[in-house]
Amino acid sequence: MPTTKLIHQNPDAPAEALAKEAEDFLAQHPELQFMVELLTMLRELKLPWWTPTQRRKAYNATQRMRDVADKWIRQRVTIELTGALTKAALKMTSDLAAANIDLALEEDKSDEDFENAFKPHELVLYGDAPLFYAQFRQALPWKEGTEVHRELVARLIDLLLKQRAAPDRSETKDLQPVLTHHKVLSAISRTVWQKRIKPEVLEAVDQLLLEKETENPNGPFPYARYVMSVATSDIITRDIDLNDLIGIFEAAEKAMGFEQLEPLDELVEAEPAAVPTPDPCEGQDPKG
C-alpha cells in the first residue's frame, strides 16, 4: 500500500470541495487511516515523550503552513492562533502566517494551543506520515514495560489488524488491514513466544486449534487468526517484553510503504548537566 501525498486538483476550490477530496483520499489509504488513529491516541494520552512542545520542535509552524495545501485550513489555524481577521488570514503567505503564529506562541498562546489547532488527519494528509511514524518508533521507550505503554502497543496492534474495507463505498470495498494476523505472529520470535506466553494460554490455543480442525478438517484453516482469538493483543503485551514486539512495527512500516529512515535526532532533550559553581577560594593559598 504505497503512500502518495494528497494533492488537490483545484487548490482554489471552495472549502467544502477540498474537505470532501481529503475525506475521499483518506478513505482509500489504510496506512494513513492508521496514522491518524496513532496521532490521535498519542495526543490524548499526553505522554512525556510526545508532548506539544516536542511536536512543535519536530514539526514547526513554518513547515506545517508550507505543507498544508488547503488554504482554508491555513486560514482557520492563522485566525485561531493569531486573532487575524478573516480576509487578512486568507491573504497571508504560508511563511508570513507562520511568523505570526510563532509570535503569538511567544506572547499569548501555548504549544498545546498550537498542536490542537491542527487536526490529526490534517497533519497526516498534508505532512510527512512516514516521518511521523519513524519519530513515534524512536520516541516510544520500548524497554519500559509500564502499563500505559503496554496498553498503547496492544491498541496499536489491534488497529494494524483492523479491517479497512468499506463495503458501502465501491472504491474502498477491497481494502485490507495494514497487517494480517499471520504477519503479526510471524514478527514475533517463536522462541520468545514459547518462553513468554503463559502455559495456560498456550494450552488454550492448542485446544482451540484441535477443535477447529475437528469441526472442519478439509476446509480453510486461518491458524494465526485462531491463535490470536485466544492470545489477544492484551495477552501478548502482558507476557512479552515490548522490546521483543518491535518486529511487528517494522513489518507495519514495510506494509505501509514507508521507507526506513536513518536514525533521527532525539525528540526528548536530555536535561542539561548541572554546572558546578566555582569555589571562590579554589586555587588560593590556604595560608593567605
pLDDT reported for residue 220: 85
Query: Where residue 270 falls among pLDDT bands split at 50, 70, 90?
Result: very low
CB 224 within 8 A of CB 161: no
> What is the CB-side half-sphere exposure of residue 44 using CA atoms within 13 A?
9
For residue 140, count CB atoms less than 10 angstroms from its CB and return exposed for 0-12, middle for 13-18, buried for 19 or more: buried
Task: Give yes or no for residue 58 having a pLDDT over 70.
Answer: yes
Note the pTM of the prediction, 2 decimals: 0.88
pLDDT at 30 over 90: yes
The H-assigned helical ranges of the chain are 15-27, 30-45, 52-58, 61-67, 71-82, 86-91, 94-107, 111-117, 120-126, 129-139, 147-160, 181-186, 190-196, 199-215, 223-230, 233-239, 246-255
pLDDT at 230: 98
The predicted-structure confidence for 195-223, as pLDDT tens digits, reads as follows: 999 999 999 999 999 999 999 888 788 99
To 5 degrees, how large is the angle CA 105–CA 107–CA 112? 35
Q: Is the pLDDT of residue 264 over 80?
A: no
**Reported confidence tier of residue 280, pLDDT bands at 50, 70, 90:** very low
**pLDDT for 237-252, tens place per residue?**
999 999 999 999 999 9
CA separation, residue 201 to residues 166, 227, 235, 245 (Å): 33, 10, 9, 18
Mean pLDDT of 178-194: 98
Which cell goes with 262? 536513518
Per-residue pLDDT at 169: 79
Q: Which residue has the higher pLDDT, 169 or 162?
A: 162
- Classify residue 44 by burial, with Cβ atoms within 10 Å: 0-12, 13-18, 19+: exposed
